[in-house]
Amino acid sequence: ATAPDNVYVGTNAPVVNAIDAVSGADAWKFENLNLDKTPVSTEVTDEPGTPGSEGDLVKVTITADQTSVAENVKPTFTVHVNQPLAHDLVVTLSNNAQVTIKAGETSAPYTHDAQGDDVYQDAGEISLGI
C-alpha cells in the first residue's frame, strides 16, 4: 500500500501483516509445514527522515503592498502561503484581524484602517505580524 503524501498528516498508521494460511495445489506435500503467524509491522512516515528535513513545510508570510501611505489612505497587505492547500487557511494577524486564504489559492489581501487626517496625531508606523 502507498501512504498519501500530504501536509496535514506527519505520520500514518503502521502497516501490520501476518501469515494467516498457506494454500495451493502442493501445500499438502510438505512433511512439516509450520506457519509463523507472528504479526510484523512497518512504520509509514510522510518524510524521508533525513536530518534537517523540513517535512511538508507550510510557510505563511505577510508583505506590505506599499512602503508609505498618506494618513487618510488605508494601507494594504498581502498574506501568502507557499503552496495551495486543500482547505481554507485562517491566519490571525498580530492585531487580531483574521485573513482567510481560500482553498487552492496562495494569497489573500488585508486592508488596515487608515490613521485618519488628524492635526493632533503625527504620522506613524503600522507593524503587523502573524
Q: pLDDT (tens digit, 9 = 90+) per residue, 64-100? A: 999 888 888 899 999 999 999 999 999 999 999 999 9
Give SS3 for 90. Answer: strand
R_g of the chain, CA atoms, integer Å: 28
The pLDDT value recorded for residue 90 is: 95
Give SS3 for 38. Answer: coil
Pairing of strands 107-111, 89-92: unpaired
Inform me whether the pLDDT recorded for 108 exceeds 70: yes
Cβ neighbours, 10 Å, residue 77 = 19
Nearest-CA neighbor of 46 among 55, 36, 54? 55
Contacts of residue 82, Cβ cutoff 8 Å, sequence gap at least 6: 57, 58, 59, 60, 61, 106
The pLDDT value recorded for residue 10 is: 64
Cα distance between residue 69 and residue 123, in whole Å = 10
Cα distance between residue 87 and residue 20, in whole Å = 41
The pLDDT value recorded for residue 121 is: 64
Q: pLDDT (tens digit, 9 = 90+) per residue, 1-45? A: 566 666 766 667 778 888 888 888 887 788 777 888 888 888 766
Q: Give me the mean pLDDT over the 118-128 stretch.
A: 70
Contacts of residue 40, Cβ cutoff 8 Å, sequence gap at least 6: 16, 17, 18
Locate the domains of the chain by residue range: 1-51, 60-111
Average pLDDT, the chain: 82
